[in-house]
Structure 1
């Protein structure tokens, strides 16, 4: 039955130090504010992070490697700053003030990211590229640094602060709170990775069709402000524990003293110790030293773990970039490349209960001792398999990608703008037959500076200059003219389609659609490329008083030149007389092929991350669980730095090769970790601490006995001396 505390009960609770919060159904109302705060904060973080690598590539115009490098540097910082947050909270400010102050920093960083994505496009700058790029880069880097400081700084504080709100008799409610807390993390992640890519897909600006990254960052910024406000509103209800000193500092000081003392007494005159930490016994308590030994034993196992995170966090960088070259059409639903990340939280929420209630019990019934370290080993292997899948998918994508010219090559396509079939003679005795108003099916690649082309009978020969590293389409009227247009030399961005029109009419042509106005195209010239989304698009074609509508359906990542021939007739059947020249084929590898790699990496995460946290908690001393938590987060940071190091050293030109390289490295590390796990001996920290506590109690008791005996001895001797003095006095009087 749910009830509210009376004033007397409130007073009793307040005297115990647990704040002024009412209790409903056994739960302090204050945790509601903490749960909402966490949901909004995780929405803010994962929403911003979901579109971050695409913002780097398409807004800041960075290449894939630089975008990936900055992305992983940011993620690494997010997992380095929790150590700073823990020290500040435990040593100086306390959890409450640390959350408040760093949340303000966090919110400022999110606002800075939103402002950095606002366009300053002028009328003369219609290509969607910001004019003052330096401003955008600097502001976004400042914003990311503040976000890393904020989200990392509050990470070790929020969950612990929520746990502080419960009394000792509310252990069941506290466990439920942590379950809800974890659910909010994944719920916020799931919703944000669905919503922010949709917001990014909106168009911003008057003169450009640039994606709206300002909106995609602005909504997470607003959620972070809401998170801060909600947390502050509950201020009067919280129990705010005072900082009692950071155990990590004590651990570092003890380790430092042991190393220093061992180095100072390195001569053979001093006896050897069983463990190098025993050299700290001269200054520190034996129980603390024993606890540090337990922590170091687990931290040693952490050494191979960063490689798992090296692969895992690439789902937000390399895998998202991979999805931009794939087909996201799922029938009635069109998936954006950054929305593929939603499979991770969905699968987590599905796999965690399945693993706990079905898979692990089934393995146990089969008689296999599936220890935590064995689970983590399997999790690492699954992550390696995920990258093998990613490499196989990349091989399939590469087969469908066009071969663009190198810096020493030129590519040429031919477009017959006339009404008669043409016989075109190219170098190396190669002949192409071009029907009226048609283009050659492929590009012809040359390394020469110029080529001679002949048409007709008798042939008319013309020398055509070529440009290295470019693709060009040569426009051929009845006779050869030096009239050509530059084609794309890369896939259109974000799965869009690059469309342009060539006017073969003798009059001006005006072309527009609901999304783009191509403007007026003069005779025998072409428009610039414009980017259009996938799906059906209807174009309005006008020339003088004549007009008609032309409809075409586009896929993802294609490039077309739409030719309006001189024989074009306006009217209801104008669709039939339009020529569509496909320069770059649409993406044909479906995004559904990424689902297996997401399933494997998420299954690996459940077996590795969830089990690893459980293992660390069970093997950690009672007062040093935060130390191991900090060590665990540090492995995530190191893993993201490894991405930068390996990618920089390897510099593999093919992405599939890089995927296979990372998979191979993780398999090698997995073997090393399995050997380390084989020799690891599980311990019961509580039992060890109890033994040392008992020994200490016995030592204290012995010390007390010695002191008691000493006092009794001193008292007895004092009594004897007093009697001797009395006798001496009596004798003197005699």
Structure 2
């Protein structure tokens, strides 16, 4: 037993089932409402919008909501890391989450009330998103860290278990019982998720928030940017200032771009140019801060490059709930016979394929694909898996683009043709998303677990930002003229554009992955004993 623990194969923490069950119920609630959002907007809430513009407006609302969901992790990670700890932040934001679901069910025919509910869900779901996965990692240390990969797979499996039933059932509830019931059921599941999470409180390892540090990432970065070196300028500071100027310019464009696009673009410019500038002058922080603090910032900057290169994947993945549903609406839907039960697949129900395939592919990869790769001398490292996943997402969009071209040419296409791209995109998701959770936690310095996990989810925000930018760009007359000259419809052109975007990124990601050096930032066994479970009433 001692040898197993030394090798990281100690026993599984007994509190893990509470977190897994909580995640399954919470994901049912989230995907239950998310997967019927686009069809509800098109068929009910946006009837005041001209028919020709309704689909585009529904996509805009959907991706704006998703941007919010993956933007608020920054707030959740900050509150948890600096003030309240992960458990308390998850608990209180989950109450906000439940209130948001209630608004959707109550204000089904009120635009302001419904959008306020979406805001509350974005705040609650986004705020807890990086913390739950980081909270899973907190339950492990060096004695059982090898069990973490299995649990992260189970964690991701539970996400898709909830998502599968939500994707299958909620479109039926929306069709047969109306939006109040269809949006109310996910609210009840979120309340159940909160109850399950609370029941495990006394069993959890509660890692306290890090106290304010003079050697935090932002302070080290500020020192690096402002420090002078005899005989040299401050090129990194110039780059960072350019990012600030660009951010201000982006915010000034909010009247034409919209606030969400402008604010997210401004944030991306600040992070990108600030990170590049800090990296250029990081060595100047030595002597002002301990070497481990400087190296910690270097590690974070390297991680953020990986996250940035994953953003094109998310721009493709999240459109399965918008662009792919719009395509499915124009396809034929055959009546299927399953053990004597005849049914017709609704367009929104096609999304149930994604979580179903995830539940099959995760164990299939672990039992068959990865052992086979190791047998032929190829180790499926985290970065190799993510490279393959980004490339597969591009392949999925090549297929979905071919389907669209066939439809544009007048060929009737069955909704079942979407099976192939769903399979490719789901394998991509397993290789990128499930792996990314494990990668983000293992590479993050101990004091920044919540914040780094929030940067991982911020990649989804940026991915959806690309969608909004492209969606807005194709309304430009010059762009429309270029698309027309290609012989493709606007939607088909966008599909092939996103496919090329992902394939090019996969190549760049592979090149960067060859230079990336993995680190191990799991807690030591002595850390586990010192954290323990905080006394009742203690700050956590």
Q: Normalising to structure 1: TM-score of the pair?
A: 0.56
- Counterparts in 2 of 1:184 and 1:616: CA distance versus 1, 3 Å: closer
SS in 2 for 1:117: coil
> Structure 2 matches for 1:163-562, cutoff 5 A?
164=138, 178-203=152-177, 212-235=178-201, 240-245=206-211, 250-261=216-227, 264-265=228-229, 267-268=231-232, 276-329=281-334, 330-331=336-337, 332-368=342-378, 371-400=381-410
- Counterparts in 2 of 1:282 and 1:101: CA distance versus 1, 3 Å: same
Does the 8 Å CA contact 1:295/1:624 hold for their aligned counterparts? Answer: no
Supply the distance in 1 between the matched residues of 2:120 and 2:56 (Cα, whole angstroms): 23
SS in 1 for 2:216: helix
Q: Which has the higher contact order (CA 8 A, sep 6+)?
A: 2
1:675 aligns with 2:511: yes
Q: What residue number does 1:541 align with?
A: none
1:151 aligns with 2:125: yes
- Counterparts in 2 of 1:321 and 1:627: CA distance versus 1, 3 Å: same
Q: What residue number does 1:696 align with?
A: none
- Counterparts in 2 of 1:604 and 1:298: CA distance versus 1, 3 Å: same
Supply the distance in 2 between the matched residues of 1:360 and 1:176 (Cα, whole angstroms): 14
Could you list the per-position Cα deviations for residues 222-253 of structure 1 after superposition, in whole angstroms to 9, with x for gaps in the alignment?
11122233434555555544433378992122
Q: Which deviates further from its counterpart, 86-95 or 597-606?
A: 86-95
1:55 aligns with 2:24: no
Shift of 1:293: 1.3
1:109 aligns with 2:100: yes
SS in 1 for 2:72: helix
Does the 8 Å CA contact 2:103/2:116 hold for their aligned counterparts? Answer: yes
Supply the distance in 1 between the matched residues of 2:520 and 2:152 (Cα, whole angstroms): 23
Supply the distance in 1 between the matched residues of 2:465 and 2:329 (Cα, whole angstroms): 24
Supply the distance in 1 between the matched residues of 2:436 and 2:512 (Cα, whole angstroms): 15
- Counterparts in 2 of 1:285 and 1:147: CA distance versus 1, 3 Å: same
Supply the distance in 2 between the matched residues of 1:322 and 1:654 (Cα, whole angstroms): 12
Shift of 1:599: 0.7
SS in 1 for 2:413: coil
- Counterparts in 2 of 1:350 and 1:34: CA distance versus 1, 3 Å: closer
Supply the distance in 1 between the matched residues of 2:156 and 2:355 (Cα, whole angstroms): 11
Supply the distance in 2 between the matched residues of 1:359 and 1:165 (Cα, whole angstroms): 28
- Counterparts in 2 of 1:171 and 1:268: CA distance versus 1, 3 Å: closer
Shift of 1:139: 1.2
- Structure 1 regions of 5+ residues with no counterpart? 1-24, 119-135, 204-211, 402-587, 691-734
SS in 2 for 1:333: strand
SS in 1 for 2:210: coil
Coordinate RMSD, CA, aligned = 3.3
SS in 1 for 2:157: helix
Q: What residue number does 1:22 align with?
A: none
Could you list the per-position Cα deviations for residues 168-206 of structure 1 after superposition, in whole angstroms to 9, with x for gaps in the alignment?
867687776545433321111111111111101115xxx
The structure having more radius of gyration, on CA atoms, is 1
Does the 8 Å CA contact 1:377/1:670 hold for their aligned counterparts? Answer: yes
Supply the distance in 1 between the matched residues of 2:141 and 2:378 (Cα, whole angstroms): 39
- Counterparts in 2 of 1:234 and 1:603: CA distance versus 1, 3 Å: closer
1:42 aligns with 2:27: yes
- Counterparts in 2 of 1:328 and 1:609: CA distance versus 1, 3 Å: same
- Counterparts in 2 of 1:72 and 1:658: CA distance versus 1, 3 Å: same
Q: What residue number does 1:132 align with?
A: none
Shift of 1:166: 7.1
Given candidates 85, 91, 98, the residue that maps to 2:82 is 91
1:79 aligns with 2:75: no
Supply the distance in 1 between the matched residues of 2:349 and 2:188 (Cα, whole angstroms): 21
Which structure is higher in helix share?
2
SS in 2 for 1:244: coil
Could you list the per-position Cα deviations for residues 485-510 of structure 1 after superposition, in whole angstroms to 9, with x for gaps in the alignment?
xxxxxxxxxxxxxxxxxxxxxxxxxx
SS in 2 for 1:676: helix
Q: What residue number does 2:265 align with?
A: none
1:654 aligns with 2:490: yes
> Structure 2 matches for 1:598-677, cutoff 5 A?
598-621=422-445, 623-651=447-475, 654-677=490-513
Could you list the per-position Cα deviations for residues 36-88 of structure 1 after superposition, in whole angstroms to 9, with x for gaps in the alignment?
32222111101000101111111122511111111111111111111211111
Q: What residue number does 1:65 align with?
A: 56
- Structure 2 regions of 5+ residues with no counterpart? 1-10, 237-277, 481-488, 525-540
Q: Which deviates further from its counterpart, 236-245 or 152-161?
A: 236-245
Does the 8 Å CA contact 1:351/1:606 hold for their aligned counterparts? Answer: yes
Supply the distance in 1 between the matched residues of 2:301 and 2:501 (Cα, whole angstroms): 25
SS in 1 for 2:309: coil
Shift of 1:623: 4.8
Could you list the per-position Cα deviations for residues 290-311 of structure 1 after superposition, in whole angstroms to 9, with x for gaps in the alignment?
1221221232233332111111
Does the 8 Å CA contact 1:90/1:246 hold for their aligned counterparts? Answer: no
Shift of 1:681: 4.1
Does the 8 Å CA contact 2:333/2:345 hold for their aligned counterparts? Answer: yes
Supply the distance in 2 between the matched residues of 1:633 and 1:213 (Cα, whole angstroms): 29
Does the 8 Å CA contact 1:619/1:682 hold for their aligned counterparts? Answer: no
- Counterparts in 2 of 1:304 and 1:165: CA distance versus 1, 3 Å: closer
- Counterparts in 2 of 1:269 and 1:397: CA distance versus 1, 3 Å: closer
Shift of 1:669: 2.6
Which structure is higher in strand share?
1
Q: Normalising to structure 2: TM-score of the pair?
A: 0.75
Supply the distance in 2 between the matched residues of 1:249 and 1:65 (Cα, whole angstroms): 47
Supply the distance in 2 between the matched residues of 1:57 and 1:74 (Cα, whole angstroms): 15
